[in-house]
Amino acid sequence: MAVFNGAGVAIITPFTDNNEVNYEKLGELIEFQIAAGTDSIVICGTTGEASTLTHEEHLECIRYTVDKVAKRVPVIAGTGSNSTDTAIYLSKESEKYGVDALLVVTPYYNKATQKGLIAHFTAVANSVTIPIILYNVPGRTGCNILPQTVATLVANVENIVGIKEASSNIAQVAEIMQLTQGKIDLYSGCDELVVPILSLGGLGVISVLSNVAPKETHDMVVKYLEGDVVGSRELQLNLLPLINALFCEVNPIPVKKAVNLMGFEVGALRMPLTEMEPANTERLAKEMNAVGIKTV
């Protein structure tokens, strides 16, 4: 059984004026997402600025989210690292908190070989008993999980069950599904490619867009899975200008600005990320308003 079908939000991490994690605001965002029909909360991913959280903050965000969600939807914790030992530590602690699955990104900066990736993901998976979703985002990590490597891991490691594919390479996604005979839970990691990935057997998306348009992102997936391909495609295409605006600067700069424009007051970014350029902010607000998202 898949961890979830539909739209999982790669939720942002709100900060106070003192640049500390704002747990009260995180709770507000979680309630907003669940009320809008989001199918899973993905905490401490790229969009959650996990790379600038301390280990203590990282784990407390996960613990808080599990408690706040209270089993209403699955909670997936980002526990990847470029250090295998660190990934194992974060994964084991997250399992203790009761998360439903782990999202484990390809080791970044090290640029491991495919042999190294197999060793890394196998070690992390063997340290826990809960499901693991691989996260392939070579544009950020400098390292690509090749389809044969995915197939090897899925065939040999029981709790590696899925992949968030954010390579933007549809041919690669197709090869993953062919080599695994579809025996992997496939999630889009690119909001602009949700429908194409669903057409190859995908179950949903782990989404940046869901932070600002949770109902629409959920509906895009559910319509497709229920056979309304035309309706799903229309949502994909109608949302494309907003999606492009959400990635006109490096994620999560635009999406955090967007959530602030919605009035949530989620604070600033942690350096080295900086505030969005005014012209891009204007573009973002325009596209949000165009799809009916009110800005302040």
Catalytic positions, written as ranges? 135, 164
CB atoms within 10 A of CB 191: 26
Contact 267, 24 (CB under 8 A): no
Compute the distance between CA of residue 236 and CA of residue 238 in angstroms, rounded to an integer. 6
Compute the distance between CA of residue 232 and CA of residue 236 in angstroms, rounded to an integer. 6
Contact 23, 56 (CB under 8 A): no
Cα-based distances in Å from 135 to 103, 121, 144, 173 = 6, 11, 10, 13
Compute the distance between CA of residue 142 and CA of residue 275 in angstroms, rounded to an integer. 25
What amino acid is encoded at 120 in this protein? Answer: H
Compute the distance between CA of residue 159 and CA of residue 202 in angstroms, rounded to an integer. 18
- Closest listed residue to residue 4, CA positions, set 47, 58, 42: 42
The per-residue DSSP string of 139-184 comes to HHHS----HHHHHHHHHH-TTEEEEEE-S--HHHHHHHHHHTTT-S
Compute the distance between CA of residue 35 and CA of residue 238 in angstroms, rounded to an integer. 23
> Residue 71 contacts by C-beta under 8 Å, 6 or more apart in sequence?
none
Please give the angle made by the CA atoms of 116, 45 and 141, to the nearest 5 degrees.
40
